[in-house]
Amino acid sequence: MDKGEETIYQFSAPLLDGRQVSLDQFQGQVLLVVNTASKCGFTSQYAGLEQLYRAYKDRGFTVLGFPSNQFGAQEPGTEVEIGAFCEKNFGVTFPLFAKVDVNGPHAHPIYRFLKRAKPGIFGLRRIKWNFTKFLVNRQGYVTGRYAPTTKPKDLTAAIESLLDSL
């Protein structure tokens, strides 16, 4: 990969509390970037994402959650409501960002990058539903894209492989 190639570290986004975060603060970590929703059939995956985060955060792993209301209006709450829901129901401690669009003309630049780096099946770039997951290596490059039906625990081997490689 060329030194001039785009990495996830070139982007920033606001957290639920409005504080702007540059993703370069996660340099050297393995990241799992997920578009989330509080009223989705996959919402229970928050628990699995939190388990992964707690299991591997001390080894340089972070989950980054990006709530989106683009699929069936399944994330209607405010940022405060989203944070309270995730903490109360799933004990989420990994970073959650303010709501974003993941598709369309207003898609957040992070999601434009992720979809360019790892298109979906048949080369389609569109995110199909909540809880689509992107795995990013320690160098900031996207190494995997996983469907909403992929359970967080099913990513354990891929995460461990990236954590073990330098």
Q: What are phi and psi of 72, to 5 degrees?
A: 65, 20
Beta-carbon contacts of residue 109 (< 8 Å; ≥ 6 apart):
11
**Catalytic member of 40, 82, 92, 114:** 40
Beta-carbon contacts of residue 46 (< 8 Å; ≥ 6 apart):
36, 65, 86, 89, 90, 92
Would you state the structure tokens that stand for residue 57, as one six-digit string? 């955060």
Residue 98 CA to residue 96 CA, distance in Å, equals 7
User: Which whole-number Å values give the CA distances from 81 to 27, 54, 101, in the listed order?
Assistant: 30, 23, 18
Q: Specify whether 86 is catalytic.
A: no
- What residues act catalytically? 40
